[in-house]
Amino acid sequence: MNDTINFINIEGLKFFGKVNASISHELKNILAIISETSGLLNDLTDLAKQGKDLKLSMFENCSASIAEDIQRGFTTIKQMNRFAHSVDIPIKEINLFETLELTINLSGFLSFASKVQINNSDQETKSILTCPFLLQNLIYQILIFTYESVGPDGDIHIRIDSKNNDGAHLIFSSPAQLTLKGFPTQKIQKTVDVLGVELNINESPHELDIWIPYVSNKIIVLAKELQNDSYTGNDKQD
Amino acid sequence: MANYNKIHLLMVDDEVKFLETITKRLKLKFFEITSATNGVDAIEAARKGRFDVAVIDLQMPGIDGAQVLEILKKNHKYLEVLILSGHATVESAVDCTKLGAFKILEKPCKFDKLVDAIKEAYERRLKKKFEHDQLRIKKIEALALGQSPLGILKELAQMDEAEK
């Protein structure tokens, strides 16, 4: 196993663990709300049985809240499933907007996540041949860096610029201005190198720009390396 | 037996919906409750009010639950703190216990278990306060034997200052 594949595997496992931990936390929160709301419904029923005059809307609100949180749970599980399947095929064509949206949702489970808006994005952006799991890992790491930069009350704006024929720009900015001290970390730089993307910090306006080619030579090399590696291959989807 | 209806509770959780629902349920148990959705508000509420027990989530934006626990225990001698979290690990449980948490409960937690833990924490608070008051009475009695009324007041003021 060469260094690059070793890096993908080790960092990938850490990333997978981190995302799963945050999803389990989110699911626990959802279950805790459902549990308490159903408990409240029981408490109210007991009071009604004892003759207390209660408004019907109190019962209806509980029931609506339970339905809402079950839906929130389904959405979370759906995202978890999409994320889990992103390791099925190591190199494949992806839609950048969908990958970005999923990664933002996954990072949103972190307690220190800021608000993220996707602005002016072309959802029909051309397909990108990449390692989907590693690209998610890179976007996730950058999101964490920007969350820590602007804080939980801050806003992060991201836009996809795909006017260029060779690739797309993923541009991060914030009305509060991003503090990019210590950026990129060694891990982010290594991930950038393996993916064959480019990182630029624009000064005016202050933005963080990831240039992602539609097809990069590094990805083609990586695809061959992964094909030759006995431990990686395509799994069946469940 | 302790009068649980008088428990003043501080509930801290960044999950607003959970906080609202559990607060409604606990109010039905006659507890008096103040809620906060972050650490800063919780510390400020504790400074302004008088609470017997605080129930705190661990993972919160800004100041996290462990830091809130540390500050509350430092500033409020008799306040008992319960940790209620969906993110508790063995390590965080050990850390919180070292910082003085009364109990660590995992979300989702059975409501009766939470209520029992709040009552136990309240009893411990009463016991600690009672023991402290007993000690203070003994000290005052000892002082009263050889001091003038003004001297007793001075000594009491010094005792209060030392406790702070």
Looking at CA atoms only, how far is residue A52 from chain B in angstroms? Answer: 13
pLDDT at A120: 66
Interface residue A129 vs chain B (CB under 8 A) = no
- Provide the b/e sequence for A147-164 (b: ≥16 CB within 10 Å): bebbebebebbbbbbbee
Q: Does residue B143 surpass a pLDDT of 80?
A: no
CA distance A25 to chain B (A): 6
Q: Which residues contact A52 (CB under 8 A, 6 or more apart)?
A: none
Distance CA B67, CA B54 (A): 13
CB atoms within 10 A of CB B162: 7
Measured CA to CA, the distance from residue A130 to residue A215 in angstroms comes to 7
pLDDT at A121: 61
Specify the pLDDT at position A66.
97
φ/ψ of residue A157, rounded to 5: -110, 135
pLDDT digits (tens, 9 = 90+) for B101-138: 999 999 889 999 999 999 999 999 999 888 888 888 88
Residues 11..40 of A with a Cβ closer than 8 Å to B: which?
A: 21, 24-25, 28-29, 31-37, 39-40
Chain centroid to CA B81: 5
* pLDDT in single tens digits along all 238 residues of chain A: 588 888 988 999 999 999 999 999 999 999 999 999 999 999 999 999 999 999 999 999 999 999 999 999 999 999 999 999 998 988 999 999 999 999 999 999 998 888 999 986 666 677 899 999 999 999 999 999 999 888 888 899 999 988 888 899 999 999 888 888 888 999 999 999 999 999 998 887 789 999 999 998 889 988 888 877 766 555 545 5
Q: How far apart are CA B146 and CA B141, in angstroms?
A: 10
Task: Answer yes or no: do A36 and B18 touch at CB < 8 A.
Answer: yes
Which residue, B18, B65, B94, is CA-closest to A111?
A: B65
Q: What is the least distance, in Å, from the CA of A106 to any CA of chain B? A: 16
Provide the 8-state DSSP code for A113.
-
Q: What does chain B come to in residues?
A: 164
Distances from the Cα of A206 to the Cαs of A134, A149, A179, B137, in angstroms?
26, 13, 9, 65
Chain A environment of B86 (Cβ under 8 Å): 24-25, 28-29, 32
* Assigned CATH topology for domain B4-129: Rossmann fold (3.40.50)
Please give the pLDDT value at position A231: 60
> In the structure, what pLDDT confidence band is assigned to residue B163 with cuts at 50, 70 and 90?
low
A224 touches B: beta carbon within 8 Å: no
Question: How many CA atoms does the CB half-sphere of B105 hold within 13 Å?
Answer: 23
Q: How many CB atoms lie within 10 A of CB A41?
A: 17
Q: What's the pLDDT at A232?
A: 55
C-beta atoms surrounding B159 within 10 Å: 13
Domain boundaries, chain B: 4-129, 132-163
Confidence (pLDDT) at A55? 93
pLDDT over 90, % of chain B: 61
- C-alpha dist (Å) from residue B12 to A35, A40, A114, A169, B5: 18, 19, 20, 41, 20
Residue B81 zone, left/alpha/beta (φ > 0; ψ -120 to 50; rest) = beta
User: Which string of DSSP letters, residue by residue, matches A188-234?
Assistant: HHHHHHHHT-EEEEETTTTEEEEEEESS-HHHHHHHHHHHH-TT--P
- The model's pLDDT over B19-39, given as tens digits with 9 standing for 90+, comes to 999 999 999 887 899 999 999
